[in-house]
Structures are given as structure tokens and as C-alpha cells.
């Protein structure tokens, strides 16, 4: 099983890959040419996970654990 993953590119596809991986328990590092792109990718992931939390599809405990990866 993959335990660590580095995603190169934090755009739509990179953020999506990172999100799927962290939801499956993989520790993820995202890299891009500028830190602001990584921050935008992380924001996208946070927003999506927040929506899942609001809809009850994700527990608060899992939400926090996922964001910690």
C-alpha cells in the first residue's frame, strides 16, 4: 500500500488527486511552481471537505484527521 505521495501541481487535477489520497489515509505533499498555487489547492480541498462535513458524509474527527495529512 502507498503510504506517502507527492503531487506535483496543485491545480484542479492535482488538488483532486491529493484529496482522494488523503481521504484514503495516504500522507500527501503538494508542490507547485509558486506557494500561492499550493495554498489555492489546499483551499479547494478544505472547501470540499467542509461541504462533506456539513452534509454528514464525513465526521468531524475524520475531517480533522484528513486535513492533518
How high is the pLDDT of residue 25?
Answer: 94
Nearest in space to 27 (alpha carbons), one of 47, 1, 46: 1
How far apart (Å, rounded) are the C-alpha atoms in residues 53 and 3?
A: 24
How far apart (Å, rounded) are the C-alpha atoms in residues 54 and 69?
A: 20
The full set of domain ranges for the chain reads 4-67
How far apart (Å, rounded) are the C-alpha atoms in residues 64 and 8?
A: 24
How high is the pLDDT of residue 69?
Answer: 84
How high is the pLDDT of residue 28?
Answer: 96
Q: Show pLDDT as tens, one digit a residue, over the chain (69 residues).
A: 899 999 999 999 999 999 999 999 999 999 999 999 999 999 999 999 999 999 999 999 999 999 988
Q: Identify the residue whose cell numbers are 492533518.
A: 68
Q: Identify the residue whose cell numbers are 503510504.
A: 3
Q: Identify the residue whose cell numbers are 465526521.
A: 59
Amino acid at each position: 500500500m502507498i503510504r506517502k505521495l507527492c503531487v506535483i501541481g496543485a491545480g484542479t487535477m492535482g488538488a483532486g488527486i491529493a484529496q482522494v489520497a488523503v481521504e484514503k489515509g495516504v500522507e500527501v505533499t503538494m508542490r507547485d511552481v509558486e506557494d500561492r498555487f499550493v495554498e489555492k489547492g489546499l483551499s479547494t480541498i478544505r472547501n470540499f471537505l467542509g461541504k462533506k462535513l456539513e452534509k454528514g458524509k464525513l465526521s468531524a474527527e475524520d475531517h480533522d484527521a484528513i486535513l492533518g495529512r
